[in-house]
Every structure is written in structure tokens, then in C-alpha cells.
Structure 1
Amino acid sequence: MPSPTLLRRRLLRLLAALLTLVLLAAAGLVVWSRIGVMDAEAAPWQGVQEDPRIADERTDVALVLRPSEPEPAGTGLLFYPGAKVEPEAYAARLSGLVTELGVTVVVVDPPLNLSLFDRRAPDRFTSIAPGVETWLVGGHSMGGVRACELAEEADALVLFASYCAADLSSTEVPVLSLSGSEDGLSTPKKIAEHRDLLPGSAEMVEIAGASHASFGDYGPQSGDGTATIDDAEMDTAVEEAVAELLGTMP
């Protein structure tokens, strides 16, 4: 039988090896998260910045889009980006909510560009817009998965080409799920397979011709389908669907 001293040495070696593996995995994750980040396309983002109806602000934790003439109290959308997608890539797609519906949009800037790893409380972001009384939480792709985890803390949930891992079927949270007929990642089949995790009242809207990348402006995405809908049509589809959701809320 090995002596106590030898056993301690073996245990220390094992712990050192495990710690090394953990550190290497963490370093690898950090490196991977910074490779292939999908930047916002310049023209759509510039269009938002130049729109006099929108006041944009970049804080250390989020991109904020406000109506330039806000009402005393209104509605906000806390939005989580897809994996490795720059927050500004969603500005143009969400701009109609600001200009036409008076919604304040807060797009989270998650650590490592991965929304699932963002464990900060929602009020870290909603506090940026203290005048907003009603908050929707939403997200695109992986960001939608994170939004699902926070749905019961919000007034409604909006999913962009995403589906829940958390079971919300027994809740009364109003849900709008927007998907694309040409999405090669969050495919119509995957959306349907996860439908039972949403409340029965959830509104499921499949946008004809939309791909996974149609929900933002960051260029083509590996594994995605080919969109047959243009940006203007996509903007209108998103705006009208969210307007209908807001119309059903108290």
C-alpha cells in the first residue's frame, strides 16, 4: 500500500493536471469567442445613426436605441444577440420598433460575445432606461435561449429564430416566436420540435423567405439557408408582429 506521503503527492499531481486542463479550456474558449465575430454591416448601422428619430447610445454593457422624443413612460425591449454577433448588427432590424412603436431597445453586449454566458441580472440593463415601465425580453438564436431563462421576470418574450431550453409551457408569459422559412440553423423543424416548451398561447410566426441571418445585418452565416426576402420587407414583418403582440398586452 502506498505511503500517505506518496498518496498526497499523487493527489497534488492530479489536482494540478485538472487545474491545467480547466485553464487551457478557459483560454481556448476566450480565443474561440474572439475568432469569427460577425460585425455589423456598415450601411444599415450608419442609417440608424443618421436617423433623427432615434437617439443611440453605447454604454459599457449595451447599445441603447431610444425614440428621440420619448414619452413619459413606455415600453422597452431587452435584447440578447446571437453568438458572436455584434450588438450593432441588430440596430436596423429593431429600429422600426423605436420609430414606429415608441419602444426603447437595449441590446446587450455579452461577455465573450456569447449571451448564454451573460449571468448579469436584467436590471443591470433595464436601469439604463428608468422611464420604461413595461419590459419585453428577447433575443436572436443563442440570445433567445438566454431570453427564455429570463422570461418570467419580464412582461413578454420575443424570440428571433430561436427556441427555449427552459420549459415555459405552464406559465402565462405572452410569447412571440418569429422564425424564417429558409433558416438553415434554427430550422422550421427545430422550431416545431421545441414548441411544447412554450405556453399554448404563444404566437408562432414564420416569415416567408427569411433565413437565420435575416434577423440582423451581419452578412451570410455558415450553414444558413438563402434568404429571398429583402431588408425592407423583413423590417416590416418584424415591426408588424411586435406591434400585434403589444396590442394584446395590458
Structure 2
Amino acid sequence: MRAALRRIRAAGFLALTALAAVLLVFLAWAHAVAQGERPAAIAAFDDERIRIETVAEGILMTPATAAAEVGVIMIPGARVDPYAYMDKLRDVVAGGAPVLIVRPAINLAIADQRGLDALIDGVDAAERWVVAGHSLGGTRACLVAAGAERDGDDRLAGLLLLGSYCANDLSSTALPTLSISAENDGLSTREDIATRADALPAGARLVEIPGANHASFGDYGVQAGDGPVTASDDEVRTVLTMEITRLLRGA
């Protein structure tokens, strides 16, 4: 009997040790983020048309002049540095729209269970917000939007997907929605986005950026499994600015 108990204790100890090792490996992986490229970040910080500050929720970018009523909450892709999105979005901010780039829990948007209320807690840069996300950040943005719609939160102004698609069904809503994809995206492919397009709110607008790939929506280097890129950063920024501004004006 005692020998059997010792074996059970030993097996339990080994199982707990293995679980702890797996957890440590997972946490190390989750915290190994794709760093934002320094030149792009400097370009954003040097842009006199905008102000950038670190807040509890993440990175808040506001126009140097008066801000618009509607802002953008940007949820990064999995294990991507929030700073990697500043340069691509700075012209949107310069045009008047505040942008809050959030820091997801353990750098994984899909593991972050915060709703709209928690994401903008203490941030009064805008009265209403378009929830946006890149890659898995977009999948999380769809869930945030669904929760805000269910709660009747009138601060929700729209949904913006960048190289992403919804895993949940929002087709019964009329939420202003824009889905921007990349022609050469090797991770959120044309087929993936087309397959899930029926889950988007009625009237959703779909735009594709020629020559762009999955990593084109930020500035964090090459991403494994991605397609080739021929579109320049300036070209991608121009399309993003034009299309996002159009969404904000109609939200």
C-alpha cells in the first residue's frame, strides 16, 4: 500500500513538474514579441502633427489640434509589439482621429478577455470608438464588438479588420465595418477572408491592398509563412489612411 502511494505521489509530482515546464515555455514564447522597427517608431514620434503618450491601456496617439468625436482602438496581432503600428496609423491621427493601441494580456489578443469598457477605461480622447485589430487582434475585435452590441454600448462606432476575419457571426448587425486585406497575405489569405465574409455585419466594405502582405499592416519585419511584399510602406499607409478615414466619417 505504501509503495503504491509513493508511486502515485511520484507520478503526481512528475505531472506537476511537466505542467510547470510547459507553462514556462508558453509564457516565454508569448513574451517573445516581434519588435517594432526603430526607424518607423522614430518617424511617428518625430511627427509634429501628433502626440504620443504611454497610458495604462497601451499607447495613445492624439492629434496636435482638436480631436474628432470618433477614435480607433487598435488591437495588435499575436506577439506583435504595439509600437509596430504607430507609423502606419499616424496619418489617421494627424487627420483628427485619436488612436489607442492596446497592450493585450500576455501579448495574445485572443487571450485578452477585456470588453470595450475595460479597454477605454480612463481614456477620454474620443466619445465613440471603432474597434480595430490586425490578424488575431481582428478576431478579438469582432468579439469586443459583439459584446458591446449586446450590451447596447453606444460608444461602439464601428469595426475595422486588418488582415483578419471574424470567428463569431455579426451578420445580423448593421455595425459600420471595414475589412482591409493584403493581396499577398500568406497568413490571412484571400480564401480565408472570403470564406468568413458572410459573418461580417450587413453592408461591410472589403478593400484589398495590392502588393501588400500580412506584415505590411505594421512595421515589425518579416513574418514566417507570409507572402512577398511589393507595396511600399508609404503606399500601404496611404490606403490605410484613406479607407480608415472614410470609415470614421461614416461611423
Common fold, TM-score beyond 0.5? yes
Query: How big is the shift at 1:124?
Result: 3.1
Partner of 1:103: 97
Q: Secondary structure at the match of 2:223?
A: coil
Question: Is 1:77 the counterpart of 2:72 in the alignment?
Answer: yes
CA distance in structure 2 between the partners assigned to 1:18 and 1:139 by the alignment: 37
CA distance in structure 2 between the partners assigned to 1:18 and 1:166 by the alignment: 35
14-23 or 189-198: which moved more?
Answer: 14-23
Partner of 2:243: 241
CA distance in structure 2 between the partners assigned to 1:33 and 1:166 by the alignment: 24
C-alpha root-mean-square deviation of aligned residues, in Å?
Answer: 2.1
Partner of 1:202: 204
CA distance in structure 2 between the partners assigned to 1:41 and 1:17 by the alignment: 42
Partner of 2:55: 59
Q: Verify the 8 A CA contact 2:130 2:159 in the aligned structure 1.
A: yes
Identify which of 127, 138, 142 aligns with 2:136: 142
Query: How big is the shift at 1:123?
Result: 2.7
Q: Verify the 8 A CA contact 1:106 1:125 in the aligned structure 2.
A: no
1:79 aligned partner, one-letter code: M
Q: Secondary structure at the match of 1:56?
A: strand
Question: Is 1:112 the counterpart of 2:106 in the alignment?
Answer: yes
Q: Verify the 8 A CA contact 1:62 1:125 in the aligned structure 2.
A: no
58-67 or 139-148: which moved more?
Answer: 58-67
CA distance in structure 2 between the partners assigned to 1:16 and 1:103 by the alignment: 54
Partner of 1:211: 213
Q: Which runs of 5+ in 1 are unaligned?
A: none
CA distance in structure 2 between the partners assigned to 1:11 and 1:76 by the alignment: 57
What are the superposed Cα offsets for residues 9-51 of structure 1, whole Å, 9 maximum, x if unpaired?
Answer: 888777666544543332221011133x211111111011011
CA distance in structure 2 between the partners assigned to 1:185 and 1:237 by the alignment: 20
Matches within 5 A, 1:112-191: 112-152=106-146, 153=148, 154-191=156-193
Query: How big is the shift at 1:171?
Result: 1.6
Aligned residues: percent identity?
A: 38
CA distance in structure 1 between the partners assigned to 2:36 and 2:212 by the alignment: 18
Number of equivalenced pairs = 243
CA distance in structure 2 between the partners assigned to 1:232 and 1:206 by the alignment: 16
Q: Which runs of 5+ in 2 are unaligned?
A: 149-155
